[in-house]
A and B are shown apart, each in its own frame.
Chain A
Amino acid sequence: MTNRFWAVLFGGVLLACFLMVALAPVFGYWLPRNVCVYGDDIDHLFYVILWATGFFFVLTSVLQVIAIWRWGDYDPAKRAQYSHGHLGLELLWTIAPGVILLYLTFAQIPAWSKVTYPSERPTPDQVVTVVGRQWEWRLRYPAAGVPERVRTWADGGLIDDVYVVNELHTWKGANCTLLLKTDDVLHSFYLPNFRRKQDLLPGKTVTIWVQATEANTKHDAATDTWSLDPAVGPAWEIACAELCGGRHYAMRGVVFVHPTKDDYDRWLKHTATRQRSYKPEQ
């Protein structure tokens, strides 16, 4: 009766896998909080695939465990069923997964085109140039509004541009367009909370956009400083997702989402003033 033991072992391990996925959200191990306008579309597709794959996982696991339990006690006196196949079954398990896969495929296209296609990109409220380098993010903000020629600005820049390291500042609801560049090696600009990731390619400028649905930054009028609102929870971070050398893991940045455009403008002006009045001996 060792077949029962093996059926239980297979069943137990597969059940443990199933429960781990089912219970992970309960323990807080799951998709990070989404704060981007298209994040819900992506998360929705994730759940659609999770349900479809979960169904096939349970189906195949149950069939296998049953087979081991029922037909795993080898008996030389017995004979297995003599069958070389069944056309109907073959058609069933070719066509049914095929239909589901086709549905899953075409369900992806609207979200993919919305997030990535240049033709679908919304008019920017804000543009920022991001230059990845070993090992930090250099962000450059235009001092006033969106420049007329964005690509020319991204390649050259203006004299009053504001430079910030490892901090992306935007405001709630803004179409924030990011022009990604690198001068050394590949990096990947990864915003887990915004469901956005894009590699940086030497010699190329890659444009992406994000739009925050919530704010996480507050201004302290007494000290005239900005900080993350602890009530919002963990920081919304920037990480590098493409191996770029020894400190690849340490390219950490933070996204600051100001409540309104006015708050953002005040921060930008403050930062610009501070930069211009900076003296080395201070």
Chain B
Amino acid sequence: MSDLPAASLAGVTKRYGDAVALGPIDLDVPASRTTVLLGPSGCGKSTLLRLLNGLIAPDAGAVRVLGAAVTPASVEGLRRRVGYVIQEGGLFPHLTARGNVTLLARWLRRPPAEVDARVAELAALARLPTALLDRHPGELSGGQRQRVALMRALMLDPEMLLLDEPLGALDPMVRAELQRDLRGVFRALGKTVVLVTHDLREARHFGDLVVLLRDGRVAQQGTLAMLEGAPADGFVRDFLGAQTDPPAGP
């Protein structure tokens, strides 16, 4: 594990109109570990993730990813070194699963044999039956679609993986299974992972490090055990408590 952060935000603010969506915030994302961005909806966690991928630009402050500042000039190259998975997968409905996974590699004119080998490798890793590779997203289940989305994000063997509520739209059984498989993948690859969720159990499941956000700012960060052992304030205690304690009743 390197001491250099894989990504960092320094004095970053992002506004939408008059509303501050994020910041001012300072944050380091450690390399080769899984960082979970946790918080209620509207706390700015998705905004933070989109800043890391250069999908949006900060109004103030600097974003650095994989050792480089995220600028319009650098962003395209950076994105190819950073995999991205969103809630419903964002798979292109006009392409097959294979077409989705290999779109960028084909555009970059990678040798077909290399591409095929990589797809087979990823299908095994993501536990997607290869027969499903020639189906269109509309013919796959929600869980299968997320496995394809993961494969697409990993295709070029990125140094960092960003996931925005990757399990959010799945039913509980599928969710539990995919959760296990995802963690297996993260452990096997040892990559820097940033995962957004509002689900505490998911944070517990994945997170080496948890960053709890509130109203666009960091409420507390550390291991989940640290947060639970010494909550920084009432919000942290309430957020952790609301999701762990079963409601008290007579």
- To the question of whether A and B form a pair in one complex, the answer is no
Interface residues of B (CB under 8 A from A): none
Interface residues of A (CB under 8 A from B): none
